[in-house]
Amino acid sequence: MMYHKKMLGLAIGVLALHAHEALADTFSFSQQAAADRAQAQDETAKQSATIRSLVSMPCRQRLMSQRIVVLIAERDGDQWQTSQDRYGPLFSIIQSRLGALGIRTYSPQQIKANIAQGELDAYFKNDPDGALSASRRLGANYVLRGNISSQPSVNSVIQVNQVAVDIDLSLTGMDGRVLSDVGAHADSYSSDDTLRTAIALVRERADLLVAQLYNDYCRGDETKHQGEPQ
């Protein structure tokens, strides 16, 4: 009888210990989740402050009189996919941010009507004269060129396919001078769909990227307009 009581007491003790450990683990996970949320909120607040600072440059009135043509292409090996119909979602994301700053852009339909496919191919093969000439026919003041590139690989740790995607946005004047060059990077482990990853990346980073483009333009243009009204 005494033996059974001892065994019962031991079993209860073991159960109590496991219950305590489980509670401790739950508490630990809860603390970590709260810490992660706090860190994410802090990073969001810092990014918002950075964006506000970048777009506070006083040149918006001048930019509102300018027109930007947005051209996007994806590098596929040594070739470029330049059909602008393919990049509708990216156009929408970028143009909505530019529009929020009062910057006027051209619709994909206007671009397609005025820039021939051969001219686009030449432009992304570093022969810009054709597309720039077509841009002048549109009456554009600037070209915002979006380059998508990717690098597939196999993750050495978990042995799954992955793709690294880079987005570069370059703002140039009609004389070819680069006014701003910004970029973002993402790794995708669940899909080798480069365009889908690129869209997700631009959607996540668009506010900051466009704010930096705007700030670079304003700083570079500031010396040309000293003393003019802002």
- pTM for the whole structure: 0.74
Inter-residue contact 71 to 184 (CB < 8 Å):
no
155 shares a domain with 120:
yes
- The number of folded domains in the chain is 2
Predicted local distance difference test score (pLDDT) of residue 71: 92
Predicted local distance difference test score (pLDDT) of residue 137: 75
71 shares a domain with 38:
no
109 shares a domain with 49:
no
Q: Is residue 13 part of a domain?
A: yes
- Choose the final residue of a domain: 11, 35, 54: 54
199 shares a domain with 147:
yes
What does the alpha-carbon distance between residue 212 and residue 167 come to, in Å, rounded to a whole number? 14
101 shares a domain with 10:
no
8 shares a domain with 85:
no
Predicted local distance difference test score (pLDDT) of residue 148: 93
118 shares a domain with 13:
no
Predicted local distance difference test score (pLDDT) of residue 121: 86
Predicted local distance difference test score (pLDDT) of residue 184: 92
Inter-residue contact 186 to 28 (CB < 8 Å):
no
70 shares a domain with 14:
no
3-state secondary structure of 48: helix
- Choose the final residue of a domain: 35, 54, 73: 54
Predicted local distance difference test score (pLDDT) of residue 196: 86
Tokens representing residue 115 in the block: 């820039």
- Choose the final residue of a domain: 54, 71, 87: 54
Q: Is residue 230 part of a domain?
A: no
- Residues (pLDDT < 50) of the chain are 1-15, 17, 23, 225, 227-230
3-state secondary structure of 66: coil
105 shares a domain with 212:
yes
3-state secondary structure of 141: coil
Tokens representing residue 207 in the block: 């506010």
Q: In sequence order, which ranges of 55-156 are alpha helices (DSSP H)?
A: 60-63, 88-100, 108-114, 117-124, 129-138
Tokens representing residue 37 in the block: 């949320």
Predicted local distance difference test score (pLDDT) of residue 92: 94
What does the alpha-carbon distance between residue 67 and residue 208 come to, in Å, rounded to a whole number? 21
Residues 125/127/133/139 CA torsion (nearest 10 deg):
50
Owning domain of residue 50: 1-54
